[in-house]
Amino acid sequence: MDDFKFEIIEHYGVLSEDAKGWTKEINKVSFGGRPGKYDIRSWDPDHQKMSKGITLNDEEFEILTKIIKDMDL
């Protein structure tokens, strides 16, 4: 069985950090050599372990950013 492979292609920012040093981040990540997707999840300090998260393709990310911009915060 092949090892699970991923690559952070672009780091956009850290949303928060917990007491153990894990950071919730938004990145563009390639999983298994596939094209990168927008990704929101927590990472350990060395970016070797990750939590469950959500990935969005370009169209989904564009819709999400529009929804956020339209929110009355």
In terms of pLDDT, which residue wins out, 15 or 72?
A: 15
pLDDT for 66 equals 97
Please provide the distance, in angstroms rounded to a whole number, between the alpha carbons at the two ends of the chain: 47
pLDDT tens, residue by residue, 26-73 = 999 999 999 999 999 999 999 999 999 999 999 999 999 999 999 988
> In terms of Cα–Cα distance, which of 5, 68, 70 is closest to 26?
68
- CA–CA gap between residue 32 and residue 29 (Å, rounded): 10
pTM here is 0.88
How many other C-beta atoms can be found within 10 angstroms of the C-beta atom of residue 53? 15
pLDDT for 1 equals 47
Burial 26-35 (b: 16+ CB within 10 A, else e): bbbbeeeeee
pLDDT for 73 equals 80
